[in-house]
Structure 1
């Protein structure tokens, strides 16, 4: 398709054969026929309230309808649904009076429908009757040109259902779809269509104006999205039947929805142009198109590849303000669920400012997101999906949900029970990391200082120190909002990290020294220590290494001693407790509720001051170990 420079939409034009000109030409032709035949008009035809005085012979010679109707009466009134009304009847009468009527895209559809109604076929006029002439013009002229086809399709709107029964609409649709496919397959545009490329739209928040500008970069797309939805829907179906790939079809649907559903300007225009009940009429129009768009969207794995995920969340947000059917709401939720693992936390719906629900926990946006995440979790389990893909997708969705909870945790209106419900939307086993959940709980505790000690502890029971990163563990140890049990777990987890770091450092040190000596050939069974003779500037001496090892052992003994003292204190105060030691010994311990994180040391019987003093001593020991690890790391760097 080639478009003239500065071309505007073909739907904005009009036929050069206006109604006053046609009426004037018809009157002149009737007068001329009267003079030629010396016969006065004897037939009266009423069309759309307008009366035409005509001659009988031209009517019965070319119109089967009048041939039958004029056998018993000279006055005829055409029905109100006559195609095209009085204007198309005037053009048809010019044809019956043998006037050289010129067809164009603006009048051919009305003439074709009127000719069919009046039975202007070869049975009454041969060789070229109005039906054949109109079809010939449509096939040889209109359907070979993009603009002409668009004009004819638009002119078919007031002629429905006759234009559909005569297949004018379907032929226009197939023609437009074919030319659109050829536009995509054109070699120089095959991979560089500016509008259909999703570059610049993926991974960004939805912006109607940016998408509108993108749609306007290809004029043929701009023409398609200007059509009434019923025609647009048929064109999309034809594009898919003719083999257009989904990565091209999806963006066209997206552009149409952006114009007629998501754009606030369009909604406002409909409100202002409605004669009465502007808001209600506008909502009805948008809802009708919205429900149709849902049916056109790609399904399953094609959904996220053809259209940006932000578009689905924009539709979801728009659906909250419309009165959609129950089935339509379920369908849009399922569409969002199918691309949930591809979303960003910025795509999730946040409560609007000044929401009327009074509580962020009960607002429509949060409830909708909660329902969708639950549908995702249930769907994954129900389908019996297994393997690495499922684990990856579930961990991604779990992380997104924790980030979402973090964004609303600071709202003062979010109640304790509601916050717990939001946490439990994702099962604990599905969370690969608890870093964002920890941040959400910390934020909630800071903003809700009135919580009881039991409520704080129950919230922290959802955290597992093993799923916290090392940086988060360090923060948890110093976080006064956390209960002491969680702090102790984080402390001992840090102990394991530090011990492993020092162990790895020592192992690496020995490996490097052995490798160097083996290469130089100085390492023999009877040789001296491998550390002898090493330059002090490049390695640690044997004596320094032994000193470092001794310090590590001393620190570990201090930790053992401290834990044993804690065990003794607990066992004397509460015999029913059991404490796990570093040596693997264990005793009785109190049963905790299901889902509660188990602590490494039972501290329930100690006073608050004793607990803090013990924690302080352990923290100092771990800092000394960490400093030692850093020192050995430097030694390793010197060796290299």
Structure 2
């Protein structure tokens, strides 16, 4: 960039802090005026380009894009804030920087943000910090714990740089050291300090034998999630004796268990007052982790159940505890749904039987539709877990009334994910899981996808084709029959179904939309070629060869929607073509097994 060699005269320099109208500014006092202003949070740093750009690849790229001679740069989301940036900037100016266990993580993350690597200058800040971490911090018991606690406020940088993992590994290794070789300070030893008689000064008495649980109290000071990770690391290395588990429970779990139970006891007496459903579910996660008593746990479940419609799918993802083999605690969420159903099912029945005002009835149904959307989203999350049994998935799917699902596209997507992640299911098992779905409540897009879905049982595909045939004959190609009778609230839910779903579900949506475009293109080509081989019913889908072959074999129709079917080796819970026509269907037909 053509900086003169005289710029090295910036040193010695002086770092000053001044306040202007409530905003802090950092100045470097030199013989040269600053030519760059860097904003980190609420602090402005008036600095010089040459020393910064000589060590920061990231700042080089930012400044190269600026056209003004006096450049102002905003560093959004800088890890560690102004304090961490000050360390990095001082290093660029050649000033002495003091690193310790309290600031080293922030400095390391900040250096990574600025890309202060050896590629731009040998012996750069990242290199020096790594030397300090490996030679000092990770060798010290106390510093490892301090640094590990500091990583919590610097996520995700500290995780990406594996600082937390390296601290945990170092701590786990130190717990296996022979107590006779322990020569560092730990909480248990400091607690034994007493006052020396005569002068009142504390002294450390010699301990003939270091107790085998010397490390327990220091570990108990960690936050609960970090504590869990440390204990998992210790156990995975096979270095924790079975007798130590009791010591850990006495030290940490019981302390947190008491805190959680106290919080639960202090909750407002009125169920819906003061606490959001999200907060209560987070509290339930901790309560599950520390195994609170049955009474406070039941009280918490009751509170959450009363306002389950206000929860989010993410809130319900509560990790399962041993001996459960699933990723998430499905049984716990099932109990929440059962509690909600017990209360609100009675309200819905009362509203319908006593012909209450339309607004009250719509409100009751709207609450159920919120829960239906929540449950289907949760089903989509657990569907990819190979340890979720078919019976558990099916039972959970059927735990809410039909009014909660005026449209069943989300349920179909969850079922499709389950079938995809469990390819070893037998034919009868696939029929059972598809039996929880009513194909009449699928939208056109979902029906088009289902009609071409190789994972679905043949009978379900036939049911989908028949429902689309009836819908086309009635001139209703946009929504399932039951959908038009529900409130406008469900309309918004259907329109927004793709925004809040996992990537697998959005992928299915894209497939549906792509198929719809392909279908329109086929229709135009068919019309252009004057092909008269159209599916009867006017609004029927143009299906792939597999679906057409299945449709022709199962639904031999010369009477525009009237068919004959004596039976099948497949089945579905939704109404089949034969059951829908009822008495109008013939008892004999042209059915052929596939």
The structure with the largest alpha-carbon Rg is 1
TM-score under structure 2 normalisation? 0.40
Greater per-residue helix proportion: 1
